[in-house]
Amino acid sequence: MTSTDNGSSASKLTVTIVGGGIGGLALANMFERANIEYLILEKSTSVKALGSSLGLDASSLPVMEQLGLLEDFKVASKPVRHFNFYNEQIQSIGLVDFECQTEIGGYPAVILDRPTFYSILLKKLPKDKIHYGRKVATIEQDEHSATVHCADGSSYTSSIVIGADGAYSAVRKNMYKDLAEQGRLPPNDALPLSYDQHCLVGVSKPLDPSKHEMLRRETCDFEIVIPKSDPFYAIYMPLPGNRVSWAVIHNVEKAEAKSGEARYSEWGSGSDASEEMSNFVRHQRSVFEGMTLGDIIDQTPKELISRIMLEEKYFETWYNGRVVLLGDGK
């Protein structure tokens, strides 16, 4: 679908998905299964799925089953058994039982690392469906179609445009600009995003299972350390392959507003900010005997460590005409 292949035909639905992250790829798998013509525009020249881990449960696994992906996720994940809570001395202070999920919803809660999740979704899609290096500049629409104009001069016309391009969505920015000019944008939607958490996340290299019993388990317990003396807490999640998905979360006392230009939510690795936060938290004891949080970080490839800030915002407007928002974009 290019500017010469418009979506004006009433008998043929075509879709342009903006954003090649997990939301965009999941949607593309649905379109692939339903034989709906689509393409994905991704601003990066290549996509590296950073981050820690993702959980799936009865709200999402039935969809993966319909897409023919359930067995892939079973192999790549571990079922979640408990959420265990500890103080800074690694003494238990509480437990939440998740083993009842299968009985309640028909599917277990499972955990897997984000890069593997991404690769499972990606492998089912034809390579020519994803166009990299396509940064959205403007979007136009009429009663028949919508056209995405990219910064490199390329244009893509389809029946509808779906923005799956994250919290700082270019699709939303274009949509809101049009609505504001028409006097139709709710005042709250014009306010900037705020954030209340700083996060450092990563996935370690394989650790020695002979030294750490929890790595040998068939299930995954979320191991959460909440110190009284530090302004952050840590989460450890054992994964297949003796790896550990981990996250360090620092709560900001008061949600801070920021402009879209700051783009704090961009996933980034190997930055000075990541290094600074790593040094700040590395002294904390971990749930792995004889290892501190710093030791776990040292066992994590730098390109798999990311520092992000979690946004918080409710947008009232998530569609306009032939343009709609998906996931964090809305």
pLDDT of 281 reads: 84
Q: Is residue 317 part of a domain?
A: yes
Lowest-pLDDT choice from 58-67, 219-228, 235-244, 254-263: 254-263
Do 33 and 141 share a structural domain? yes
Q: Is residue 217 part of a domain?
A: yes
How many structural domains are present in the chain?
Answer: 2
Do 159 and 19 share a structural domain? yes
Do 291 and 143 share a structural domain? no
Do 150 and 40 share a structural domain? yes
Q: Is residue 1 part of a domain?
A: no
For the chain, the average pLDDT equals: 89
Supply the pTM of this predicted model: 0.88
Q: Is residue 295 part of a domain?
A: yes
pLDDT of 6 reads: 43
Tens-digit pLDDT profile for residues 243-261:
999 999 988 766 555 544 4
Q: Is residue 99 part of a domain?
A: no
Label residue 264 by pLDDT band (50, 70, 90). very low
Q: Is residue 298 part of a domain?
A: yes
Q: Is residue 55 part of a domain?
A: no
Q: Residue 234 is part of which domain span? A: 194-312
Do 214 and 151 share a structural domain? no
Do 137 and 28 share a structural domain? yes
Percent of the chain with pLDDT over 90: 71
pLDDT of 11 reads: 60
Do 255 and 242 share a structural domain? yes
* Per-residue three-class SS string for the chain: CCCCCCCCCCCCCEEEEECCCHHHHHHHHHHHHHCCEEEEEECCCCCCCCCCEEEECCCCHHHHHHCCCHHHHHHHCEEEEEEEEECCCCCEEEEEECCCHHHHHCCCCEEEEHHHHHHHHHHCCCHHHEEECCCEEEEEECCCCEEEEECCCCEEEECEEEECCCCCCHHHHHHHHHHHHCCCCCHHHHCCCEEEEEEEEEECCCCCCCCCHHHHCCCEEEEEECCCCCCEEEEEEEEHHHEEEEEEEEEEEEEEECCCCCCCCCCCECCHHHHHHHHHHCCCECCCCCCEHHHHHHCCCHHHCEEEEEEECCCCCCEECCEEECHHHC
Do 139 and 275 share a structural domain? no
CATH of residue 186's domain is 3.50.50.60
Do 245 and 227 share a structural domain? yes
Do 167 and 282 share a structural domain? no
Do 278 and 212 share a structural domain? yes
Q: Is residue 228 part of a domain?
A: yes
Do 169 and 296 share a structural domain? no
Tens-digit pLDDT profile for residues 82-100:
999 999 999 999 999 998 8
